[in-house]
Amino acid sequence: MESTAPSWMMVTWFAVVSLTIIVCLAYLARPALVRPPPKLRPNQAQPMISVVIAGRNESATIGHCIQAALRCGYSNLEVIFVDDNSSDDSVAIARRAALAVTGSRYDTNRLRIIPSPRRNGKASSLNVGIRMARGEFIVIHDADSKIQYGIMPHWLLPFEDPQVGGVVASIRVDNSTANLLTRLQELEYALKFNFGRFIQAKLGIMPIITGMGGIFRGEVLRRLGGFDSGLGDDSDLSTMLLKQRFKLTFSHDAVVWTTVPETRAHLWSQRMRWRRNCVKIRVSKHRDMFLLGRYGFARAIITIGLVLKILPPIAFVIAILWTTFVTGLLSYPEVVTSLYWIVVPLVFVRLLVIREISNTPKWINFPLVFIFPFYTLWLLLPAVYAEWAELLRIGSKHPYVPDHVWEEIPWW
Amino acid sequence: MNIRAPLPDGPDDAWVEQRRVRLLQQISELGGTILPAGEPAAKHGYRFDAAGPDVDGDLVALAKLNYLETRFFDRVRLCPRCDGHHLNVREVCPTCHSAYLTSEGLFHHFRCGYVGLPSEFLPEPDGGVRCPKCNKGMHHLGTEYDRLGKAFACHSCAVVSENPPVEAVCLGCGARMPAGDTVSANVFSYLLTSRGAEALRSGRLLEAEEQPVLAGDAGVFRREMILEFIRHQMQRQQQLGEPFSLLLATWLDGDGAAADQRGAWLDRVRRCLRSVDLVGQLGDRLYVVTLARAKGREAEALRRRIEKELGPTSPLSLSACEIKGEKDLAVALAAVLPSQEN
């Protein structure tokens, strides 16, 4: 039987591959187009940066997180750790880390530790940190992430543009060699959080500043009153920034290392939380972003693009049915095979490009590109469940929000 | 003895001894214990109710000599620069080090997550407050909003801190330091010991006879003490049959060398001796070393070793002899100082 993948697939494939090759060639020919060198500033001109970390029961990682932030090579920096009423010894470990770096058990000019007497949720804990921050720029940082040494000048570089409200760093996987799951996540992070954001930033449609590595203008955060309770902290704040007509952008020279889930249950729980937040914020709270004229065409595209994430599973089924209808019943395996062999080279080329630019993922993880499509499909299971559960309002309580706060917040 | 009467002038040894005996007398009249009393003008914040020019120093000296026993009373923090206790200890801003801080509980509005100082929330006519972020009223503490513990807000630079550093300022010399850098000193009360009571009965301190007369790496005992040690060794020799020798050293310079020069030479002698060998002064120019459990030939070998150590310029004339009775001791002493020393 003759057959083959439909022509629209080939067109898409060629378009994406061509784009990635163009980016790669542009980088090889003119690296400064992709990676502008940071401007030299005199020490007196270093703006103050506050690193706000909020966490609950993060004793395993908080010490390294604080030390990495304090020792990132930027002098005019303070770290504020807000402990959300942990039941473990997070505060003691944080104070020990502070003692090792600053030599004092008390708050200092460089580090303040704020233990909360009651659980308030992550958003409110971050608001405590923002309230106490005095930096011109505020880094919102996760307790399981680490700031790489020397990145601050790169991270601050996009703020030369006064329209830029937030810059997301290049997220790297710290525990990428732990098991198969973390290796696949490294490929995923390289594609989504490096290559994807790089393209989005160039097109001006960056949708989100992630909570694990984002820096904001402090004045803007204070003016917004910080995060809203009961929502995913990063996407909600990013959307509010977009509504304020600020641009979000990406710095792939600013590297933040994060620890990804190592078990299936943890990973699914994380992805369900992300997808629920996406639906709750884009479809419910900020649905006015769909209006093309209200916040601008680019912002509407961002929202539409994110909402379209809900549709791929449905679109996939429809595509299979349509192809089967057109080419006959027996062509089904060939279609799947064709799709697979379109996706694999596409992913491979994108990984090669981002490897050239950002030095991630590791070469040893490249062979996993052959099973990466299956991993992506496997991750759609919790995502689709979370989307429909959120749309139908089934078990919609956010796991990071305590009951007494959840009862008070509006029903988005 | 009138203990309140002024002491005669002149800080010589006798004067100090008399002063300390009078202090013991005062402690005895206070019931055997002297307690410190709070006194802001005193250097460490406490003073003792006793008359004397240097009561604190005398109490420490008497306690060191076991005339008094110390009991812990209190601990004071002192300025490391001037040793004064007039310290102002308070929280300061971690950023600008201003002490102009006020302690306030941050408000947290559950509905919108806003966190701020109470002064940022507008008061409502019905007693509640209004959130500056979402403009909703907040009336019920615990269900609508909460206090997030205490925080210190700096009125100089507006920084809010939950655990600000504690700084001490010395009101005496103006030094500023972290509170942890101040030094601590214990304040003691003093109890009269049986030894102190004995000194009080005899009217003099017992140390006058016991303490070494020459400073150096090793002390040199007074005549009475070293003779007591020699008698003790002779008793052991007679009762237990332990051999016992003496090494006699005579100073050859007629005018007498300075005390520090003698101390230096005696230190060189001391380096050749064992830790159990005692050095004493029998006369102005005569020193003696007791060599316990040493026979005559061992003492003679030691004498030669010391002479070799001191060299040809030595101002000491050495002789060694084994003591087997009172007669040997008298002969030995007569040999070195036939005219006046024995």
Distance CA B77, CA A164 (A): 53
Q: Residue A163, class by beta-carbon neighbours within 10 Å (0-12 exposed, 13-18 middle, 19+ buried)?
A: exposed
Of all residues in chain B, the one with the smallest CA distance to A224 is B133
Write out chain B residues lying below 8 Å of A123, CB-based: 113
Instruction: Name, in order, each residue with C-beta under 8 angstroms of A170's C-beta and a sequence gap of 6 or more.
Output: A193, A194, A197, A213, A250, A251, A252, A253, A254, A255, A256, A358, A360
Q: What value does the mean pLDDT of chain A take?
A: 82
pLDDT value, residue B252: 79
Q: What percent of chain A stands above pLDDT 90? A: 15
Inter-chain CB proximity A229 and B110 less than 8 Å: yes
Q: What value does the mean pLDDT of chain B take?
A: 81
A215 pLDDT above the threshold of 90: yes
Please give the residue that has the higher pLDDT: either A229 or B182: B182
Write out chain A residues lying below 8 Å of B161, CB-based: 107, 112, 132
B258 pLDDT above the threshold of 60: no
Write out chain B residues lying below 8 Å of A124, CB-based: 108, 110, 113, 115
B254 pLDDT above the threshold of 90: no
Distance CA A117, CA A115 (A): 6
Smallest CA–CA distance, residue A180 to chain B, in Å, is 39
Q: What percent of chain B stands above pLDDT 90? A: 11
Inter-chain CB proximity A104 and B165 less than 8 Å: yes
Distance CA B244, CA B278 (A): 12
Write out chain A residues lying below 8 Å of B146, CB-based: 118, 120
State the SS3 of chain B.
Answer: CCCCCCCCCCCCHHHHHHHHHHHHHHHHHCCCEECEEECCCCCCCEEECCCCCCHHHHHHHHHHCCCEEEEEEEEEEECCCCCCCCEEEEECCCCCCCCCEEEEEEEEECCCCCEECHHHCEECCCCCEECCCCCCEECCECCCEEEEEEEEEECCCCCEECCCCEEEEECCCCCEEEHHHCEEEEEEEEEECHHHHHHHHHCCCCHHHHCCCECCCCCEECHHHHHHHHHHHHHHHHHHCCCEEEEEEEECCCCCCCHHHHHHHHHHHHCCCCCCCEEEECCCCEEEEEEECCCHHHHHHHHHHHHHHHCCCCCEEEEEEECCCHHHHHHHHHHHCCCCCC
pLDDT value, residue A182: 92
A138 pLDDT above the threshold of 90: yes
Mutation for testing the A interface, residue in B115, B120, B130, B143 having most A CBs under 10 Å: B115
pLDDT interval class at B7 (50, 70, 90) = very low
pLDDT value, residue B215: 42
Averaged pLDDT, A176-186: 91
Instruction: Name, in order, each residue with C-beta under 8 angstroms of B316's C-beta and a sequence gap of 6 or more.
Output: B249, B250, B251, B252, B265, B269, B287, B310
How many Å separate Cα B257 from the centre of its chain?
Answer: 33
Inter-chain CB proximity B106 and A107 less than 8 Å: no
Cis before A361 (ω within 30): yes
Write out chain B residues lying below 8 Å of A408, CB-based: 110-111, 143-144
Mark which residues 207-226 of A lie under 8 Å from B by CB.
225-226
B326 pLDDT above the threshold of 90: no
Smallest CA–CA distance, residue B176 to chain A, in Å, is 16
Q: Residue B141, class by beta-carbon neighbours within 10 Å (0-12 exposed, 13-18 middle, 19+ buried)?
A: exposed
Please give the residue that has the higher pLDDT: either A327 or A150: A150
Closest CA to A232 of A386, A114, A385: A386
Nearest by CB to A123, from B113, B132, B157: name it: B113
How distant, in Å, are the alpha carbons of A17, A18, B229 from that of A8?
14, 15, 116
Averaged pLDDT, A180-191: 92
Nearest by CB to B113, from A104, A227, A407: name it: A227
pLDDT interval class at B44 (50, 70, 90) = confident
Averaged pLDDT, B184-195: 88
B109 pLDDT above the threshold of 70: yes
Q: A with B: how many residue pairs have Cβ under 8 Å apart?
A: 97
- pTM equals 0.64
pLDDT interval class at B210 (50, 70, 90) = low
pLDDT interval class at B259 (50, 70, 90) = low
Nearest by CB to A134, from B111, B142, B159: name it: B159
Alpha helices in A328-410 (DSSP H): 332-358, 372-391, 403-406
pLDDT by residue (tens digit) across A230-253? 766 688 888 888 888 888 999 888
pLDDT value, residue A313: 62
Residue B102 at interface with chain A, using a CB cutoff of 8 Å:
no
pLDDT value, residue B168: 92
pLDDT interval class at B89 (50, 70, 90) = very high
A410 pLDDT above the threshold of 50: yes
Phi (first) and psi of residue B250, to 5 degrees: -110, 130
A43 pLDDT above the threshold of 70: no
Contact B246, B321 (CB under 8 A): yes
Nearest by CB to A118, from B95, B146, B151: name it: B146
pLDDT by residue (tens digit) across A352-409? 888 888 888 889 999 999 999 889 888 888 887 888 888 777 776 777 777 777 777 7
Inter-chain CB proximity A229 and B163 less than 8 Å: no
Averaged pLDDT, B29-44: 87
B3 pLDDT above the threshold of 80: no
